[in-house]
Chain A
């Protein structure tokens, strides 16, 4: 039976499609193997290759007179290459670490509730039944991963007159230098509203990261990443003497 002969709505189509994909999986895995030792775990690459295979199965048109393998191989390899290009293996966090990161995020929020304070690394390790070393690795991964996972556009809701900009205003002469006011205000105004609010709460309201997390409804680790990123943006936009 040929998949291409079955019309889109045919009841057997899904089953045949699945079977074709299964039969070709070794090809996908073989191609993934060619990219071994280039910084990505083999399992992750096999998954990407399998996605390429599915695209190849769905996109193949025998009417063009090309053998399936001639179509599938470049499609799968293309998918793997795109994976490297898009994700950049240096910043991409392997799946096991991403899971650890998620576990930690969840544990932090539960422990913060239970202990009524921010947890220590020991608290988190105990809760997850993992070593403190693991937890630190997960926290590091969370920071590395943020480079790509945070994608709020810088110009989002610009100029909404948020409190931080006002806090840096003329009334607060004791805090901000004249240069600060001139250079920092427009930069802060360019941050997304949520980031402006986080900066206001942390540096002017003196709230802890956990308290901000609760107020805004995101995780403490997310607050930390947004703070890091916002400060970096401000620093890079301001001459070094500020």
Chain B
């Protein structure tokens, strides 16, 4: 199990860095293009949600856990008060779960976090 950690300013302009890293790591795991693109879009969505709530001038931290057949992307930002994380009954949640598979959102000690885990489905 390998860990890759990236920290970027919590600003939409930096999300492309995370999208690129996601695609690169997913490719290493031999994910298919369908899976890579799905995960890339999911990371984009999750990060955009968090960036919208992040305290100004803070960083978004992104922790990739690379396993043999799964990639977990955990993103978090410092927030003030209760963040507006998507509820499990929302369209946003449906989108994340359809794209990534496993989704977990939480608000703890001043941070809003979303964790996505995508497992490699297809055998090849």
Residues on A close to B: CB < 8 A?
Answer: 108, 115, 117-122, 124, 132, 135-136, 139-140, 143-144, 168, 174-177, 179-180, 184, 202-203, 206, 208-210, 220-221, 224, 227-228, 231-232, 234-235, 238-242
Q: For the complex, is B37 an interface residue (Cβ under 8 Å from A)?
A: yes
Q: For the complex, is B30 an interface residue (Cβ under 8 Å from A)?
A: yes
Q: For the complex, is B92 an interface residue (Cβ under 8 Å from A)?
A: yes
Q: For the complex, is B74 an interface residue (Cβ under 8 Å from A)?
A: no
B33 and A124 form a contact (CB under 8 A): yes
Query: Interface segment, B1-9, B46-54, B55-63, B65-73?
Result: B46-54
Query: Which residue on chain A has the smallest CB distance to residue B82?
Result: A241
A175 and B35 form a contact (CB under 8 A): no
Q: Which residues of A contact B34 (CB under 8 A)?
A: 118, 208-210, 220
B20 and A242 form a contact (CB under 8 A): no
B38 and A209 form a contact (CB under 8 A): yes
A48–B82 CA distance with the chains assembled, in angstroms: 53
Residues on B close to A: CB < 8 A?
Answer: 16, 19-20, 23-24, 27, 30-38, 40-41, 44-45, 48-49, 52-53, 84-87, 89-92, 94-95, 98, 122, 124
A181–B85 CA distance with the chains assembled, in angstroms: 18
Given contacts A108-B33, A117-B32, A121-B27, contact A224 B41 (CB under 8 A): yes
Q: Which of B27, B37, B49, B91 contacts A240 (CB 8 A)?
A: B49
A135–B36 CA distance with the chains assembled, in angstroms: 13
What is the CB-to-nearest-CB distance from B75 to chain A, in angstroms, rounded to a whole number? 15
Q: Which of B30, B35, B41 contacts A227 (CB 8 A)?
A: B41
Query: Which residue on chain A has the smallest CB distance to residue B53?
Result: A240
Given contacts A117-B122, A240-B84, contact A203 B90 (CB under 8 A): no
A165–B89 CA distance with the chains assembled, in angstroms: 16
Query: Which residue on chain A has the smallest CB distance to residue B48?
Result: A235
The winner among A117, A179, A221 for most chain B CB atoms within 10 A is A117
Q: Which residues of A contact B37 (CB under 8 A)?
A: 209, 220-221, 224
Given contacts A117-B122, A118-B34, contact A242 B44 (CB under 8 A): no
List 24 A-B pairs, Cβ < 8 Å. Answer: A115-B124, A118-B34, A118-B35, A120-B30, A120-B32, A120-B33, A136-B24, A139-B36, A168-B91, A175-B91, A177-B87, A179-B90, A184-B91, A203-B94, A203-B98, A206-B98, A209-B34, A209-B37, A209-B38, A220-B34, A231-B95, A232-B48, A240-B84, A242-B92
Query: Which residue on chain B has the smallest CB distance to residue A174?
Result: B89
Q: Which residues of B contact A177 (CB under 8 A)?
A: 87, 89-90
What is the CB-to-nearest-CB distance from B2 to chain A, in angstroms, rounded to a whole number? 17
A177–B52 CA distance with the chains assembled, in angstroms: 21
A239–B87 CA distance with the chains assembled, in angstroms: 13
What is the CB-to-nearest-CB distance from B43 to chain A, in angstroms, rounded to a whole number? 11
A217–B106 CA distance with the chains assembled, in angstroms: 40
Q: Which residues of B contact A119 (CB under 8 A)?
A: 32-33
What is the CB-to-nearest-CB distance from B65 to chain A, in angstroms, rounded to a whole number? 20
A143–B16 CA distance with the chains assembled, in angstroms: 9
The winner among A115, A168, A203 for most chain B CB atoms within 10 A is A203
Q: Which residues of B contact A210 (CB under 8 A)?
A: 33-34
The winner among B20, B27, B95 for most chain A CB atoms within 10 A is B27
